[in-house]
Structure 1
Amino acid sequence: MNPSYEIIEQLYRLDIDSGLVTQDQRAAQKELSELAKKSRLSEEIIAKTRTDMSFHEADLRRLYKKLDDLEERKAERSARLFAAKNDDDHRSLKRELDHVEREIRDTQRKADETESRIEQSKSLFHKAEGELSASTNASEGERRKAQEAENNSAGRLNEINKVRDSYLSRLDDRIAQHYIRVAKITRNPNGPICRVSERACGNCRIGLSPQILNNIARGKSIEFCPNCSHLLLPNNN
């Protein structure tokens, strides 16, 4: 049996462990991202509603000022109408007074609508504040757990990489370099090594030649899949 087979077997097991740890790390990173996204969404709503309220409040102050001015004009026109000395002055002042009263009603309607929008914004603002607070408090434990899982995964991957490097240093340079090259491009979560399965490569499922299968079965030489270049191990069944 080629002594490199034992090393490659150990690398294969390390790669499987690494794939599982990487999945755990990605799951933890995804959870952290979702928690951050949830808080960020509430923060964006708070910022937007605060801006909306400021705009509407400024508009409402302008409308209130206009109402005060219109009420003064109404009082002035009413006084002049009461003191009108002839029909022409009375009709003219009456038209002016009617116009002012219509403008008051229109301005009051706009003020009422603006007040309603402010109340809606306030409601949305307080709701978002409550959700942000609840999210922050409720997810603090989840965030700590996810962060711990991410840190543990990173530490475990670092340990696996160190052991992997020690095994690679014991391999023939040609095989080690082949392993490293395939590891960079493989989509297999278990890495660049696979077992023969039903006389085919366990990674790409392409059938293997009798010569390659015979060499693997006899442990004569390290073989690579001619299609996907993965290192091949015999089926251990």
Structure 2
Amino acid sequence: MNPNYEIIEQLYRLDIDSGLVTQDQRVAQKELSELAKKSRISEEIIAKTRTDMIFHEAELRRLYKKLDDLDERKAERSARLFAAKNDDDHRGLKRELDHVERDIRETQRRADETESRIEQSKAVFHKAETELSASISASEGERKKAQEAEDNSAGRLDEINKVRDSYLSRLDDRIAQHYMRVSKITRNPNGPICRVVERACGNCRIGLSPQILNNIARGKSVEFCPNCSHVLLPQNNA
């Protein structure tokens, strides 16, 4: 039996463990990302509605001032109309008064709409504040748990990598270099090593030649899949 096989078996087990730990780490990182995203959305809504309220409140102050000016003008035109000395003056002042009253109605309508927008923005603002507070409070435990899981996963990966490096240092240089090259491109979460499964590569499922299968079965030499380049181990008959 080629002595490299024993080392490759150990690397294979380490890679499987590493894949599981990496999956746990990704789940924890996703949870942290989702929690941050939730809070960020609420913060963005709060910022936007605050800006909207400032704009609408400024517009409402302008409309209120215009209403005050129009009310003064209406009062002045009404007094002049009451004191009109002839029909022509009366008709002219009545037209002016009608224009002022139309302006008052239109300005009041716009003020009412602006007040409604402010109330809507306030409702959205308070809802977002409540949701943000609840999210921060409720997710604190989740965030702590996810952070601990992420830290534990990172620590476990460091341990696995150290052990892996010690095995790689004992492996034949040609095989070790091949292992490292394939590990950079494989999409298999279990790494660049796979077992033969029903006379085919366990990674890409491409059938293997009788010569390769024979070499693996006899433990004569370490073989690589001619299609995906993964390091091949004998089929597990346990």
Q: TM-score range by the shorter chain?
A: over 0.9
- Alignment match, 2:62: 62
- Alignment match, 2:5: 5
**Shift of residue 95, structure 1, vs aligned partner:** 0.7
- Alignment match, 2:180: 180
Secondary structure of 1:225 counterpart: coil
Secondary structure of 1:221 counterpart: coil
- Alignment match, 2:40: 40
**Shift of residue 158, structure 1, vs aligned partner:** 0.6
- Alignment match, 1:29: 29
1:134-173 equivalences under 5 Å are 134-173=134-173
Secondary structure of 2:170 counterpart: coil
Secondary structure of 2:96 counterpart: helix
Q: Residue type matched to 2:202 in 1?
A: G
**Any idea what the Cα deviations from partners look like across 1:16-71, whole Å, max 9, x if unmatched?**
00000000000110110000000000000000000000000000000000000000
Identity within the alignment, %: 90
- Alignment match, 1:110: 110
Distance of 2:124 and 2:227 partners within structure 1: 59
Secondary structure of 1:220 counterpart: coil
Secondary structure of 1:181 counterpart: helix
**Any idea what the Cα deviations from partners look like across 1:61-82, whole Å, max 9, x if unmatched?**
0000000000000010011111
Q: Taking structure 2 as the reference length, what is the TM-score of the superposition?
A: 0.99
Asked if 1:53 corresponds to 2:53, the answer is yes
Q: Residue type matched to 1:61 in 2?
A: R
Q: Taking structure 1 as the reference length, what is the TM-score of the superposition?
A: 0.99
Distance of 1:207 and 1:96 partners within structure 2: 96
Q: Residue type matched to 2:52 in 1?
A: D
**Shift of residue 140, structure 1, vs aligned partner:** 0.4
- Alignment match, 2:200: 200
- Alignment match, 1:72: 72
**Shift of residue 236, structure 1, vs aligned partner:** 1.8
Q: Residue type matched to 1:71 in 2?
A: D
Aligned residue-pair number: 237
RMSD: 0.5
- Structure 2: give runs of 5+ residues left out of the alignment: none
Distance of 2:199 and 2:32 partners within structure 1: 43
- Alignment match, 2:211: 211
Secondary structure of 1:196 counterpart: strand
Distance of 1:190 and 1:225 partners within structure 2: 16
- Structure 1: give runs of 5+ residues left out of the alignment: none
Distance of 1:67 and 1:191 partners within structure 2: 75
Secondary structure of 1:169 counterpart: helix
- Which runs of structure 1 show a deviation greater than 6 angstroms over 4 or more consecutive aligned residues? none
Q: Residue type matched to 2:169 in 1?
A: S
